[in-house]
Amino acid sequence: MKSLTTLILSMFLCSSAYAEDVGQFTFLGSGQCAPFEGTLFDAKATSRLLTLEEEMILGCNAQLDFELAKQRTELQLDLDSQRIRFEADIKEKDLAIETQLRQISDLQNALKKVSANNKWLYAAGGVATGIALSYAAYEVLVK
Amino acid sequence: MPQLLLKLLPYLKAYWKELAIICLAMAFLGKMRYDHRLLIKTYEEQTIALQEQIDGLNLIHAEELRKKEAALQAYKDSLEELEKDYNREKRNNRKTIDRRRDQIEEQFSQNKEELANEIINNFNFEYVPM
C-alpha cells in the first residue's frame, strides 16, 4: 500500500518536472501497442519510482540521526550549564560559610577582649566610679 | 626619689579625693578608648572579610562565565561537526541512490526479467509480457 501511494505521488511529481532529466511517462490506451490501458514509464522514471522508497528511508534516517544528535548536544549543553552553575553555587556557599565563620571568630575574640567574665569587678568599679563622681560633684557644686 | 615622695605626700593627703577622681576618670576614658579601638579593629576585620568574600565571589563568577563560554563553544563545534556529518551522509545517500538508479536503468535495457521481478516485489503488480 505504501509503495502504491509512493507510485501515485511520484506520477504527479514526475509529470510536472522536466521530462528530459527526470524520466518520461505517457498513458496508453487498449490496443495502442499495449495489452491493456495503462501508464508507460521510461527507464529513468522507472528507476526513480523503484528507488523512491529507499531514498525516502535513507533521507529520513539521516535526518532522524541528525536531529537526535542535535538534541543530544543541546541537552548536553544544558546539563553542562547546570553543572557549572551547581559547582559555582557550592563554591559560593563554601565561601560564605568560611567568611561567616571567620566573622564569628573575630567577633568572639573582640567580645572576649571587651568584656571578660569578671562582671562583679566591673559592677564594683562602676559603683565606685559612681560614688566618686557623685562625691566630686557634691564637693564642687555644694562646697 | 623618697625625698620627692615626702614632698608630695602632704599634697597627696590634701588632694587625694581630687586625685582619685582624676585617676578614675582617666581609667574610665582609657577603657572607653580601648573599647573604641577594639570596635574599629573588629569593624576593619569584618570589612576585610567581606571584601575577601566579594573578591572570591567575583572569581567564582568569572570562572563560571569562562566554563559556560567553553561549554557553548563545545556545543557550537559539536553542532558544526554534526552538520558536516549530516551533509556527508546525504551526499553518500545520493550516491547510493544514483548507483541504484543506474543499475535499474541497466536492467531496463539488459535484464528485463529481473527488473520485472523487482517491480513485482516492490509493488506486488502483475507482470503482463507483450
For B52-88, write each residue's pLDDT tens digit.
999 999 999 999 999 999 999 999 999 999 999 999 9
Contact B93 A69 (CB under 8 A): no
In the chain, the amino acid numbered A116 is A
> In B102-127, which positions are buried (b, 16+ CB within 10 angstroms) versus exposed (e)?
ebbbebbeeeeeebeebbeebbeeee
The nearest CA of chain B is from the CA of A73 a distance in Å of 6
* CA neighbor of A72 nearest in space, from B79, B14, B46, B80: B79
- Please determine, for residue A136, whether its predicted confidence score (pLDDT) is greater than 90: no
Q: Range with the lowest mean pLDDT among A9-13, A18-22, A31-35, A77-81? A: A9-13
Task: Give all strands (DSSP E) within chain A, no chain letters.
Answer: 25-28, 38-41
Which structural domain, as residue segments, surrounds residue A129?
2-141
Preferred mutation among A77, A78, A89, A134 to probe B, highest tally of B CBs within 10 A? A77
What's the number of CA atoms in the CB half-sphere (13 Å) around residue A42?
11
Give pLDDT, residue A52: 92
Contact B71 A99 (CB under 8 A): no
Greater confidence, B2 or B54?
Answer: B54
- Please determine, for residue A4, whether its predicted confidence score (pLDDT) is greater than 70: no
- Please determine, for residue B26, whether its predicted confidence score (pLDDT) is greater than 70: yes
Give pLDDT, residue A12: 47
Preferred mutation among B93, B98, B99, B128 to probe A, highest tally of A CBs within 10 A? B93
- Please determine, for residue A6, whether its predicted confidence score (pLDDT) is greater than 60: no
Classified as helix, coil or strand, A40 is strand
The nearest CA of chain B is from the CA of A18 a distance in Å of 18
Give pLDDT, residue A14: 41
Q: Are A91 and A41 in contact (CB under 8 A)?
A: no
- Please determine, for residue B98, whether its predicted confidence score (pLDDT) is greater than 90: yes
Task: Give the percent of chain B with pLDDT over 90.
Answer: 54
Interval B107-124 mean pLDDT: 88
The count of other CB atoms within 10 Å of the CB of residue A106 is 18
Contact A51 B75 (CB under 8 A): no
- Please count the structural domains in chain A: 1
Give pLDDT, residue A96: 95
- Indicate the pTM of the whole model: 0.66
Q: Could you report the per-residue pLDDT of A62-85, keeping only the tens digit for each?
A: 999 999 999 999 999 999 999 999
Contact B108 A43 (CB under 8 A): yes
CA distance A98 to A142: 59
Q: Name chain A contacts of B67, Cβ cutoff 8 Å.
A: 84
Greater confidence, B55 or A142?
Answer: B55
Give pLDDT, residue A34: 82
CB-closest option in A43, A44, A129 to B24:
A129
Q: Are B20 and A132 in contact (CB under 8 A)?
A: yes
Handedness of CA A29, A46, A58, B89 (dihedral sign): negative
- Please determine, for residue B30, whether its predicted confidence score (pLDDT) is greater than 70: yes
Give pLDDT, residue B5: 79
- Please determine, for residue B101, whether its predicted confidence score (pLDDT) is greater than 50: yes
The nearest CA of chain B is from the CA of A77 a distance in Å of 6
Greater confidence, B5 or B73?
Answer: B73
CB-closest option in B49, B83, B93 to A59:
B93
Tell me phi and psi for residue B104, to 5 degrees. -65, -40
Give pLDDT, residue A3: 53
ipTM higher than the 0.95 cut: no
Give pLDDT, residue A18: 42
